[in-house]
Structure 1
Amino acid sequence: MRRLATPAQAGLLHLIGGTPMAWIPAGDAGVGYRAKLESAGIGGMKARAAISLLSGAVARGELAPGAPVVESTSGTLGMGLALAARALGHPVVLVVDDELEPDMRALFTAYGVRLEVVERPHAVGGWQRARLDRLTEVLAATPGAYWPDQYDNPDNAAGYAAMAQEIIDQVETVDVLVATVGSGGHCAGLTRVLRQRWPGLRVIGVDSVGSRIFGQPARHRVMRGLGSSILPRNVVYSDYDEVHWVGPVEAVASCRAVAARSCVAGGWSTGAAALVAGWAARREPGAHVVTVFPDGPHRYLRTIYDDEWCVARGLLGVAATDPVEIAAPDAVEVEGWARCGVVRDPAGAGAPV
């Protein structure tokens, strides 16, 4: 049964989306790409997914009035869920890990979100698996709770249809879409709509070094918000023409370079997207390249933009200026920026898609 939002709730929902597109220079005069600045919408990019996840559950009768919403997050989806759940009248419990920044913890507390903090990573699945294990316990102890399951819920991708339409309205054409990949939702949602408008659209996926998504082995990742130690089923492998893996040294350098060049800044996903979008724009100067900057810089002022923090982790080294080419996703374990033109589902039969 559908529940209508009150005027106050509708006002909150109205703040999601409608973000601008910015030109980001990436080399010589006239060379660059366009970036959707999701930090200009309240809740960041994943607020779009959050409202879709909860609205879909309400429409199907899976989310009862006033029932708690419980989800695992490294931070960004949590912000979106806090907003969406408040608008729809639900309390939120977020399962986070011990590496969540103090500023984010304080903000969640201010928003009235209950945090369940995992203190140790899983031996194999890292923080992500440990959070999901705790989530199972929280669900069992919370009668009536609803888990959106951002990793395996088609409502995630559906939440980005409006963003795709905004892009269509903001640019004349798109030749290349560069999309960071975590849960897989925003790339799947954008590609589905944008390829209806531009069938020849090429899609470049951007993953993190140490992520399993595209066939590399999982290991500890400094970067948050992209990559995964599990295989999210929202990832549509057939959407991608190639994949890049980006390391934290490259992401830090990219974040800082974009900020210095354009006064537009963001976090790990923004730096990774900017690195690959700039490479694509320089490689094909006439191509119209578009990417998405998922959030702004404020969460990262004590990490990415803090010299002391970066030096302590060896993140101010020499960053690669071009990716290493590998023949297959599992041909070699990559340590930094790498690229592969073969994309396949690691859980499938192994044939390229």
Structure 2
Amino acid sequence: MLELIGNTPLARITAPLPFAHGGFWAKLEGLGLGGMKARAAASMLLAARARGELRPGAAVVESTSGTLGIGLAFAGRTLGHPVVLVVDDELEPGMRALLRAHGTRLEVVDRPHPEGGWQQARLDRLRAVLDSLPGAYWPDQYNNPDNARGYASLAREIAERLDRVDVLVCSVGTGGHSAGVSRALRAYWPGLRLVGVDSVGSTIFGQPARRRLMRGLGSSIHPRNVAYGAFDEVHWVGPAEAVDTCRRMAEGCFVTGGWSTGAVARVAAWAARREPGAEVVAVFPDGPERYLGSVFDDGYRRAHGLHLPPRTHPVEIAQADSVEVSGWARCRTVVDPRRVEVPA
């Protein structure tokens, strides 16, 4: 079963998003068995088993907003491990039903942490669950380097199809796939430029943490898997831009997805338009099925003000912490916000 992970299609996207562009390549990870994060899940569990950290038949416990949960359900069951997932109240009913159908046990957090949001609340519950399950293993997707290593196969699949890649556009949540894919692709093309796509309200790149409508990208904590030095620039995309892009793709090229895919596609189309002739590749983490009640629902769109005209170009900011962004913005100076300046 693990041999079925990956080998996802690479599609050419030419639909206006919102303006015409020369086209970019999209790796359609939402079409892979177990989803994109099955790559990371299998990598983390197999490495832990090899080191003796994950014993035969032991439970696997992890915090997730949904996508890694599917990957862990697949990899865990394939390798003979029960899976316990700590999720939160904002996880869609359909995703809860799907995870339970795959045999996972769900621990649902009903209120966000006052400072760390849903992620910190889930991590607090996770530690309590671990204490109740002796021998259980926590992959710790945010900080586990085997997360990033799992995406070497994704990079290899791209390299087998294309003669070159100039710009790679990746959403950033745990930091795993942006780090793993960019590192592996730079072995083929050292001059490759990495563009990170974050969510408005995420603290990963130095913005203040706020409650976020979009799931799947962004964070209220600082994952150690984020390879800050690998990024050439970062964009923050708001939900209005992501929804607009998802709907344009659904109508214009049939290929579409959810929050992360919409945000990444917006930036990839902008990059392709800005640099004619450049070979731009974007990783689409998901498909549309999970988002029929949000991104593709007219009532949801109106209720959250997402029907209003979104930004068509990013606002340029000099430093990530110089101004709090409320919509699509771009910064060409990427620093690790955890870095502490020590007075001389």
TM-score (norm 1): 0.95
In structure 2, the partner of 1:202 is: 193
Find the aligned partners of 2:129 and 2:101 in 1 and give their Cα distance: 21
Post-superposition Cα deviations, 1:11-65, rounded to whole Å, max 9, x if no partner, equal x212210011000014477711000001221111111000001001000000000
Which of residues 239, 263, 276 in structure 2 aligns to 1:285?
A: 276
Q: Which amino acid aligns with 2:8?
A: T
The residue correspondences of 1:1-353 to structure 2 (distance < 5 A) are: 12-27=1-16, 31-349=22-340
Deviates more, 1:27-36 or 1:195-204: 27-36
In structure 2, the partner of 1:9 is: none
Post-superposition Cα deviations, 1:180-217, rounded to whole Å, max 9, x if no partner, equal 00000001101111111101101100000000100000
Find the aligned partners of 1:230 and 1:26 in 2 and give their Cα distance: 35
The answer as to whether partners of 1:68 and 1:93 remain within 8 angstroms in 2 is yes
Find the aligned partners of 1:191 and 1:183 in 2 and give their Cα distance: 15
Post-superposition Cα deviations, 1:62-96, rounded to whole Å, max 9, x if no partner, equal 00000000000000000000000011000000000
The answer as to whether partners of 2:28 and 2:284 remain within 8 angstroms in 1 is yes
The answer as to whether partners of 1:26 and 1:282 remain within 8 angstroms in 2 is no
Find the aligned partners of 2:281 and 2:323 in 1 and give their Cα distance: 29
SS at match of 1:93: strand
Q: Which amino acid aligns with 2:164?
A: T
Q: Which amino acid aligns with 2:2?
A: L
Q: Which amino acid aligns with 2:12?
A: W
Q: Which amino acid aligns with 1:280?
A: A
The answer as to whether partners of 1:43 and 1:83 remain within 8 angstroms in 2 is yes
Find the aligned partners of 2:284 and 2:217 in 1 and give their Cα distance: 12
Find the aligned partners of 2:20 and 2:114 in 1 and give their Cα distance: 49
Find the aligned partners of 2:173 and 2:78 in 1 and give their Cα distance: 25
The answer as to whether partners of 2:21 and 2:272 remain within 8 angstroms in 1 is no
Post-superposition Cα deviations, 1:115-145, rounded to whole Å, max 9, x if no partner, equal 0000000101110100000001000111111
Find the aligned partners of 2:58 and 2:259 in 1 and give their Cα distance: 33
Shift of the alpha carbon at 1:349?
3.5
The answer as to whether partners of 1:95 and 1:116 remain within 8 angstroms in 2 is yes
Find the aligned partners of 1:342 and 1:26 in 2 and give their Cα distance: 30
Quote the sequence identity (%): 67
Unaligned runs of 5+ in 2: none
Q: Which amino acid aligns with 2:4?
A: L
Post-superposition Cα deviations, 1:244-299, rounded to whole Å, max 9, x if no partner, equal 00001111101111111110111111000000000000001110000111111101
Find the aligned partners of 1:295 and 1:239 in 2 and give their Cα distance: 23
Find the aligned partners of 2:148 and 2:332 in 1 and give their Cα distance: 24
Deviates more, 1:307-316 or 1:174-183: 307-316
SS at match of 1:197: coil
Find the aligned partners of 1:249 and 1:132 in 2 and give their Cα distance: 29
Post-superposition Cα deviations, 1:293-324, rounded to whole Å, max 9, x if no partner, equal 11111010111000011111111111100000
Distance 1:317 1:30, change over 3 A: closer
TM-score (norm 2): 0.97
Runs of 4+ in 1 over 2 A off after TM superposition: 26-30
